[in-house]
Amino acid sequence: MTTITPNPPSPYATADPNLRHTLAPPNNLLGRFRTPASTLALTDCRALAVVPNQPYNFSASPVLPDGLCTTCIATWIYDEPAPAAPLAQPCERCDALTQHGTLCAVCRIDAHDRWTADGCPSWEATYEPGNISTFHLGWHHTPHTARAAARAWFWEQHTDTHTLLWYPVEPGTDNWYEANRINHDGTESPANLIIRRLRGTQTAA
């Protein structure tokens, strides 16, 4: 059995990134997508995913490939929409109640468009103190610029310019680093700064 590739990645997608999702009506009809490729759109499982460049041709084979979202396919085959999640929390940007987490669908689509227009940078810098909101410090094309943005933000928040040391969170991989600051007595303490690479590439199959 063949395996279908997941939808292209986006930091603003909410659908399971390891699966291929079908798009909610009116976008999805036998693999023909009306929403332009590379944009963020509502899926049949009521999440948001990126429209692939090449829609899968469902009519080409009688056997469905592996890797499809079962909720999407059940919706698509039986024509019954997945139940909507409750409007759980206000959007961080526009305050609209949303079922899509910290950002509503409209703000996610807008943010995805700007991320795409910037060439889909893959490194995110954040400040994550743990007890309060995470501060998004931008998407960057390289770990060096992500670290520079994190350091610049950190120094703005502190009167002292502490040196930062970056440690891999997953040793042996190049995806995720956390910073410690060096105190004046030479000890280290967490700076709560993190840089992470968005996994995957922007090429769709």
Q: Which residues bind Zn ion (CB under 5 A)?
A: 21, 43, 45, 69, 72, 91, 93-94, 96, 104, 107
Least distance in angstroms from the C-beta of 36 to Zn ion? 20
* Torsional sign, CA 116, 123, 107, 31: positive
- ∠ CA 145-52-83, rounded to 5°: 105
Least distance in angstroms from the C-beta of 16 to Zn ion? 7
Least distance in angstroms from the C-beta of 29 to Zn ion? 16
Q: Which residues sit opposite 126 in a β-bridge? A: 136, 194
- Specify the residue, 145 or 200, whose C-beta has the smaller distance to Zn ion: 200
Which of 6, 2, 13, 27 is CA-nearest to residue 113? 13
Least distance in angstroms from the C-beta of 142 to Zn ion? 29
- Distance separating alpha carbons of residues 129 and 140, to the nearest angstrom: 21
- Specify the residue, 111 or 198, whose C-beta has the smaller distance to Zn ion: 111
- Distance separating alpha carbons of residues 141 and 125, to the nearest angstrom: 11
**DSSP assignment letter at 86:** P
Least distance in angstroms from the C-beta of 191 to Zn ion? 30
- Specify the residue, 98 or 122, whose C-beta has the smaller distance to Zn ion: 98
- Specify the residue, 23 or 146, whose C-beta has the smaller distance to Zn ion: 23
- Specify the residue, 40 or 107, whose C-beta has the smaller distance to Zn ion: 107
For the record, the structure tokens of 56 come out as 């899968």
